[in-house]
Structure 1
Amino acid sequence: MEDKIIENLRSMGCEFVEEHYSLLKFCIDKVVTDLNSRCHTKELPKGLEESAIDRVCGEFLYALKSTGKLEEFDLEQGVSSVKVGDTSVNFSGTSPDAAFNNLIGTLRNSGEELIKCFRKIQF
């Protein structure tokens, strides 16, 4: 999963550096634990892997931005729209910072509608 996450981050214009590896691991653990607890499973369901990857990317970018370490990311790179599943968000007419915040929000909530499909009854 780590390789796919790093590939996604690079495709969004964020160069992954080794000093961020522990933060990436923390974000992966956080997202997987959250999804597992919401689905009442011990392992991440196969159908939620792509959503988990998007969520980890969103958490990672949010953490970098919150700590002021998002230097290598170009907010002006022109994210005009994002499509995740059947949801599309158009950012035209917004400031680069607002568009980036929308992108992070969309990534962090990716697959929200799928979670109920993988929930198990907990006794």
Structure 2
Amino acid sequence: MVRKLKGNRPAQAAAGNQMDILKQAQAMQQQMLQVQEELKGKDLTVSVGGGAVTVKVNGQKEVLEVKLSDEILKEAASDKEMLEDLILSGINEAMRQAEELAESEMNKVTGGINIPGLF
């Protein structure tokens, strides 16, 4: 004997679950947009070469400032490559720290779930 179920309860439950998931995803998206906006206001300053080069970036990995000490400018006249290396080193370190900050802030929203292409 085959019993026929009344109504369409499994389909209704699935539709409700999908709506809940969609609402959660939209809320998470809003939170991520807010975090991205807040990262613009968070600055990181990195110094390399004993303070010879200082690089300032924000949490969205935008370089805001590069400062060179007077001493390194005097030395740069005879060693241009050293100055270029120090600047590059400072920018790379600042970007690494900005990436860590962004990941840390996003993990607060995503609960550590890796979302490809987020940053």
TM-score (normalizing by structure 1): 0.28
Question: Greater relative contact order (Cα 8 A, min sep 6): structure 1 or 2?
Answer: 1
> Whose strand proportion is higher, 1 or 2?
2
Compare CA radii of gyration and give the structure with the larger one: 2
TM-score (normalizing by structure 2): 0.29
